Amino acid sequence: MRFRFLLRPGWLALTLAVWVFAGACFTMLMPWQFGRNDERVAQNDALTTAMKTDPVPVGTVLDRPNAEVEWKRVALTGRFLPDGEAVARLRTVQGEAAFEVVTPFRLDSGQVVLVDRGYLRPASGVSVPEIPVAPTDEVTTVAWVRAGESDDREAFTEDGRRQVYAINSAVVGRAAGLDVRPGYFQLSEGQPGVLNALPLPRMESGPFFSYALQWIAFGVMALGGWAYFTWREIQPGGALAEPRPKRKSVAEMLAEDEAAASGSELAAAGEQRQGRG
């Protein structure tokens, strides 16, 4: 039968591989890249809007998760709590190693939030440098709303400094004995308490949209190739239409050559005997 090849193990394995790959392209990889593109567009829009408007009081965003209002610019009034300060290690800023300094900040409403004061370069290549003390008087400072990081490994003390692996307000709060609101606030340039202000993300679209189109193309090409080869094999004379002869091993080919050579020698000997008779 012309369609019998479709049930062969090799063809079934090829079909499974093609459809799994195409399914991954259309249901996982393509949406993932489109999602990243949407995130970048939303981030750029939020930054553009925030830069064109005055900072809003922090109380206007505290009733919503930071992730929903990320990159809004807010004004915080209150006091830094230096005793709860921690250093975020293993950071990179503009391609170079850095430590970020995060300090709890008690708002005039009584709530405690986490403030990222900016970064410092390592001393002697690896050590935490001296950190200027944050102001202890009441201040009003402007910051960007940021979503917290998910790493919840506990804080530890090294070289006399409390250190954390990620900017996670719950981790800093547990280490400092404070009830710190989720998320954090990144200080702007020139604000009270800022060290070296962290640079803002570059407002560019990135390659994510084109990557999504590439995954669509890969999925279509995989299915198209499978359809083409299936159609070709259905036609008379397809490579898989009839069972292929078993491929001979090297030993079998050598044995056949020896047998043919022996046969030739026997035939020649017979002819010589006939000639003598």
pLDDT bin (cut points 50, 70, 90) of residue 273 is: low
Q: List, in order, residues 6 or more apart from 40 with CB less than 8 Å away.
A: 204, 205, 206, 208
For range 145-160, the mean pLDDT: 91
By percentage, how much of the chain surpasses pLDDT 90? 48
DSSP structural state of residue 157: E
In the structure encoding, which two tokens stand for residue 262, read together? 């022996």
- Strand 161-164, strand 86-93: pairing: parallel
Total residue count of the chain as it appears in this document = 277
pLDDT score recorded for residue 198: 92
Round to whole Å and give the CA distance between 246 and 252.
12
Tokens 């604000």 sit on residue = 191
Lowest mean per-residue pLDDT among 136-145, 153-162, 240-249: 240-249
Which of 19-39 are b and which e, b meaning 16 or more Cβ less than 10 Å from the residue's Cβ? eebbeebbeebbeebbebbee
Least confident of 59-63, 89-93, 136-140, 230-234: 230-234
pLDDT band (50, 70, 90) for residue 81: very high
Q: How many whole angstroms from its chain centre is CA 200?
A: 20
Could you list the beta-strand ranges (E) of the chain: 56-57, 73-80, 86-93, 96-107, 112-120, 139-146, 156-158, 161-164, 184-187
- Among the ranges 3-12, 49-58, 117-126, which has the highest mean pLDDT value? 117-126
**Is pLDDT of 256 > 80?**
no
| For range 5-28, the mean pLDDT | 86
Average pLDDT over residues 173-179: 95
Residue 6: alpha-carbon gap to chain centroid:
38
**1: pLDDT strictly greater than 70:** no
- In the chain, domain spans: 4-43+207-234, 57-187, 249-277
CA proximity to 184, closest of 85, 54, 95: 85
What's the whole-number mean pLDDT along residues 122-131?
87
In this predicted structure, which of 84-88, 103-107, 149-153 has the lowest mean pLDDT?
149-153
Confirm if 119 and 195 have CB atoms less than 8 A apart: yes
Taking 60 as the threshold, does the pLDDT of residue 241 lie above it? no
